[in-house]
Amino acid sequence: MLQVRMTGLCRPNRAKISGIFGRGDMKLYLDSGRAPNPRRVRIFLAEKGVTLPTEAVDLGGQAHKTAAYRAINPMQRLPALVLDDGTVIAESIAICRYIEALHREPPLFGEGALEQALVEMWQRRVEFHLLTVVSHVFRHLHPAMAPLEVPQVAAWGEANKPRVLAFLEFLDGELAGRPYVAGPRFTVADITAVVAVDFMKPAKIAVPEDLAALRRWHAEVSARPSVAKER
Amino acid sequence: MLQVRMTGLCRPNRAKISGIFGRGDMKLYLDSGRAPNPRRVRIFLAEKGVTLPTEAVDLGGQAHKTAAYRAINPMQRLPALVLDDGTVIAESIAICRYIEALHREPPLFGEGALEQALVEMWQRRVEFHLLTVVSHVFRHLHPAMAPLEVPQVAAWGEANKPRVLAFLEFLDGELAGRPYVAGPRFTVADITAVVAVDFMKPAKIAVPEDLAALRRWHAEVSARPSVAKER
Average of per-residue pLDDT across A78-89: 96
| Residue A57 CA: distances (Å) to CA of A72, A79, A184, A204, B50 | 12, 9, 36, 25, 45
Q: Do B159 and A170 touch (CB under 8 A)?
A: no
CA distance A134 to chain B (A): 16
Question: A114, A167, A187: which to substitute to probe chain B, counting the most B Cβ within 10 Å?
Answer: A114
| ipTM rounded to 2 decimals | 0.89
| A98/A152 same-domain check | no
| A85/A148 same-domain check | no
What pLDDT is attached to residue B170?
Answer: 97
Domain that holds residue B158: 112-229
What pLDDT is attached to residue A13?
Answer: 34
Final residue of a domain: which of B79, B102, B125? B102
What pLDDT is attached to residue A25?
Answer: 77
Please give the Cα distance from B106 to B116 (Å, whole number).
13
Q: Is residue A107 part of a domain?
A: no
What pLDDT is attached to residue A61?
Answer: 86
pLDDT for A150 beyond 80: yes
pLDDT-above-90 percentage for chain A: 83
| A124/A207 same-domain check | yes
Adjacent-strand bridge partners of A29? A55, A80
The band of B24, judged by pLDDT with boundaries at 50, 70 and 90, is low
The whole-model pTM stands at 0.90
What pLDDT is attached to residue A100?
Answer: 98
| Model confidence pLDDT, tens digit, residues B72-126 | 999 999 999 999 999 999 999 999 999 999 999 999 999 999 999 999 999 999 9
CATH label of the domain that carries residue A82: 3.40.30.10
pLDDT for B5 beyond 70: no
| A70/A119 same-domain check | no
| B51/B138 same-domain check | no
| Contact present, A81 and A28 (Cβ < 8 Å) | yes
| A135/A47 same-domain check | no
Q: Do A97 and B120 touch (CB under 8 A)?
A: yes
**Domain count of the fold of chain B:** 2
Dihedral angle, C-alpha B54, B68, B41, B106, nearest 10 °: -70
| B128/B98 same-domain check | no
Nearest-CB residue to A97 (from B17, B91, B116): B116
Please give the Cα distance from B2 to B193 (Å, whole number).
28
CA distance B112 to chain A (A): 8
| B116/B175 same-domain check | yes
CB pairs under 8 A between A and B: 97
Final residue of a domain: which of B102, B121, B143? B102
Q: What is the strand order of the sheet A27-31 is part of?
A: A54-57, A27-31, A80-82, A88-90
| B144/B224 same-domain check | yes
CA distance B128 to chain A (A): 10
| Contact present, A118 and B94 (Cβ < 8 Å) | yes
| B148/B118 same-domain check | yes
Nearest-CB residue to A159 (from B16, B120, B151): B151
Q: Tell me the average pLDDT of chain A.
A: 90
Q: Which of B164, B169, B165, B143 is nearest to B154 (CA)?
A: B143
Final residue of a domain: which of B102, B135, B163? B102
Neighboring chain B residues of A104 at a CB cutoff of 8 Å? none
| B148/B168 same-domain check | yes
- The secondary structure element, H or E, covering residue A55 is strand A54-57
pLDDT for B201 beyond 80: yes
| Model confidence pLDDT, tens digit, residues B172-191 | 999 999 999 999 999 999 99
- List CB contacts of A194: < 8 A, sequence separation 6 or more: A43, A218, A221, A222, A227
What pLDDT is attached to residue A17?
Answer: 39
